Structure formats: C-alpha cells, structure tokens
Amino acid sequence: MVSVNELPVGAKGTITSLTGGHGFIRKLDVMGIRMGMEIAVVSRQWMKGPVTIRFGNNEVALGYGMAGKILIERI
C-alpha cells in the first residue's frame, strides 16, 4: 500500500485505508471519496502542492496532507 502522494501521474489504485480521524473521513465522504473506490492521479504540483485525482466522472484536488492519509493498492 502507498499513499496517493507516492503515485505517479496516470497511475490507478483502489482505496484500502483512510488514516485520518473522524472529521477527515467525513470530509472525504462528502466529496464522494470512500473505501474501495478506484481512483487515478490526474496531476500533481511540485513542492508539496495539491494532487488532483479522478474517480468516476469527478475530479477533486486534495491538499498534500490529505492525499498522504489516503492509502491505496496499485492496479
């Protein structure tokens, strides 16, 4: 398992773990990001900038810290 921050652009994976607290998990749930979902990294900014992910027909930009708390298994 690796965090979303460690994936190269274009890589896909399935969310296996969310390592944040209740508020973090709730915030992701509101955005539509849940355990077991398949996501793809669309873009990332340098110097610990935001990471953009795609799931279904949606694209969401996550901060570096949030992306580091989402662990996935690469496909």
Residue whose entry in the numeric block shows the structure tokens 């990471």: 51
> Residue 62 has what pLDDT?
96
pTM of the model: 0.91
C-alpha closest to that of 11 among 35, 44, 34, 49:
44
Kindly report, residue by residue over 14-64, the tens digit of the pLDDT: 999 999 999 999 999 999 999 999 999 999 998 899 999 999 999 999 999
> Residue 69 has what pLDDT?
97
> Residue 36 has what pLDDT?
96
Span 4-18, average pLDDT:
96
CATH class of 2-74: mainly beta
**Domain spans of the chain, in order of start:** 2-74
Q: How confident is the model at residue 65 (pLDDT cuts 50, 70, 90)?
A: very high
